[in-house]
Amino acid sequence: MEEEMANSNEKPSAQAVNKIAMMALLMIGSFVIILMQTSLGTALPALMTAFNVDSATVQWLTTIFLMVNGIMVPVSAYMTTRIPTKYLYLGALAIYIAGTFMAWTAPTSAFWVLMLARALQAMAAGIVMPLMQVVALTLFSPESRGKAMGSIGLVIGMAPAIGPTLSGWILDGKHNFLGMTWGGDWRSIFGLVMPLAILVFLLSIFFFKNVLETKKVSLDIRSLIESTVGFGLLLFGFAMVSDHGWGSFSYVIAPIIVGAMVIAEFTRHQLHMEKPFLDMTVLMNKQFAITTALVSLTFIAMLGVEMVLPTYMQTVRGLSALDSGLTLLPGALMMGAISPIAGSFYDKYGAKRLAIFGFALVTLATLPYYFLTETTPTIYITSLYMVRMAGIAFTMMPLTSSAMGVLTRAQNAQGTAVNNTARQIAASLGTAILASVMQSVANDNMPSAGLKTADPLAYGSKALDAMLDGFHTSFFVAAMFALAAFALTFFLHNGKVNAAEKGGK
């Protein structure tokens, strides 16, 4: 292993590569890892009780995951170039297994242990998400690349969507499986996924191959520090909006401003480097920039509503975390069913027509949420959500394939890192915007505290109306993001551009 790691400018060996086995292992492992991004959302109340912490403290389990994941994505371009594919994937799996075991066994007297475990899980996620895309781009020809990327959409789109439902089901009570009784507590969330991760790790030792060319490149420490500080502060600021609001200078405004300034300096430094840590010049490609912006808008539309809608279901409709998750589960399954089909269509027609159709679906299915009431039928909400997720499936991976298709093969790792970094920031920004809009509008319309004593029934009715106003405005903003993306799709090129074969290796 050490000898192979030391080789520089050396192509992978010509050993037989089982593409199906590699992609299956990569997708299953990535699914298990990315699943943890949202799985703790429904478990936060149980964790508050178990660790005796308040809501602000327990929220750090989500914040630390988003921050570390976002920090690792830019680093992934260097790691993909420097470390052989097999050992990079095995390393990510090993980090994830260690973090999951640490979370599973974390003593309730040491909340910091669970925090560290989440950071390790996020490190693994930050490595495997870009790696999965680069490997798919390498293994499959441009003619069949859309189908492969469509399958990846199963992972990137479904894992975050299924996470809350799965954890809600686990927390709902004890279940029998293979003669064993498990569930009913937060530890089971980690205990359930760990055996599968270990199995993927063991199989990857035999079936995973080195398919990416590695180079002996040096790590620019300045770039690493600027990347970590800049993206870390930016993501931290966005994550704090839901708790502290946009008016908080210390927690929101200052981190965002300083983070943006550091990223600006990081970008300037990269543009003057002979071998940049993160090649920002890919954004000078007009089509790559447009498709990356559209992918970012896709994630804002998807994850923002995925956060707001369950909150509506639980606070206004009074559903449990499990029931609200089950209401949205058909949408996740719809996305899983459509993603491979969308990939096949991309191979035939390119991304433009799919994106126009997809964002039209997302916009038309989001606008009706503006009119939700406390008695809107659940089946209506679920049906609209299914249409939304179908639209997102028609946009997300075809656009990602299109973004990478206009780059040369040598730019794949860097382009994937830039694309994923933009997507990660957009997801955090979108969630922050929709959550803050919902909360601020609700607060502005909340009745006076005096009415609560004078007329409790009237207060309850007006408070419910205020919450609905918040949700309505948030859904309207989400629809406007989708509409903006719909307008931007008309600037995409027609058909497919396979520049990956026109230069580089």
Note whether 401 and 430 are same-domain residues. Answer: yes
Tell me the per-residue pLDDT of 3-30, one tens digit each, with 9 for 90 and over.
444 444 444 544 456 778 888 888 899 8
Tell me the per-residue pLDDT of 116-160, one tens digit each, with 9 for 90 and over.
999 999 999 888 888 888 888 787 776 666 777 777 777 777 777
The model carries a pTM of 0.77
The residue-averaged pLDDT of 78-105 equals 91
* pLDDT value at residue 3: 41
Tell me the per-residue pLDDT of 351-404, one tens digit each, with 9 for 90 and over.
888 999 999 999 999 999 999 888 889 899 999 999 998 998 898 878 887 877
Helices (H), 83-220: 85-104, 111-139, 145-172, 187-207
Note whether 364 and 391 are same-domain residues. Answer: yes
Note whether 22 and 138 are same-domain residues. Answer: yes
Number of neighbouring beta carbons within 10 Å of residue 449:
8
Tell me the per-residue pLDDT of 44-74, one tens digit each, with 9 for 90 and over.
777 888 898 876 678 788 778 878 888 887 8
Note whether 40 and 171 are same-domain residues. Answer: yes
Structure-model confidence comparison of residues 168 and 385, the more confident one: 385
DSSP helix/strand/coil, 182: strand
Q: Supply the CATH number for residue 75's domain.
A: 1.20.1250.20
Tell me the per-residue pLDDT of 315-350, one tens digit each, with 9 for 90 and over.
788 877 678 778 888 888 888 888 888 888 887 888
Residue with tokens 């009913």: 184
The contacts of residue 145 (CB under 8 Å, 6+ apart) are 136, 137, 347, 401, 405
* pLDDT value at residue 4: 40
* pLDDT value at residue 499: 52
- What's the CA gap between 407 and 418, in Å, rounded? 12
Stated length of the chain: 505
Note whether 197 and 264 are same-domain residues. Answer: no
Note whether 246 and 372 are same-domain residues. Answer: no
* pLDDT value at residue 439: 78
Note whether 374 and 252 are same-domain residues. Answer: no
Tell me the per-residue pLDDT of 29-49, one tens digit each, with 9 for 90 and over.
988 888 887 777 777 777 888
Note whether 422 and 497 are same-domain residues. Answer: yes
Note whether 191 and 224 are same-domain residues. Answer: no
Note whether 315 and 365 are same-domain residues. Answer: yes
Q: Which of 218, 234, 268 is the last residue of a domain?
A: 218
Range(s) of the domain holding residue 371: 281-505
Helices (H), 173-220: 187-207
- Overall domain count for the chain: 3
The residue-averaged pLDDT of 74-84 equals 83
* pLDDT value at residue 495: 62
Note whether 213 and 227 are same-domain residues. Answer: no
Tell me the per-residue pLDDT of 189-218, one tens digit each, with 9 for 90 and over.
888 888 999 999 999 998 888 877 777 777
Report the Cα–Cα distance between both ends of the chain, in Å, rounded: 24
In Å, how far are 39, 176, 246, 386, 434 from 241, measured between CA atoms?
21, 40, 6, 29, 10
Note whether 325 and 307 are same-domain residues. Answer: yes
Q: How confident is the model at residue 173 (pLDDT cuts 50, 70, 90)?
A: low
* pLDDT value at residue 174: 62
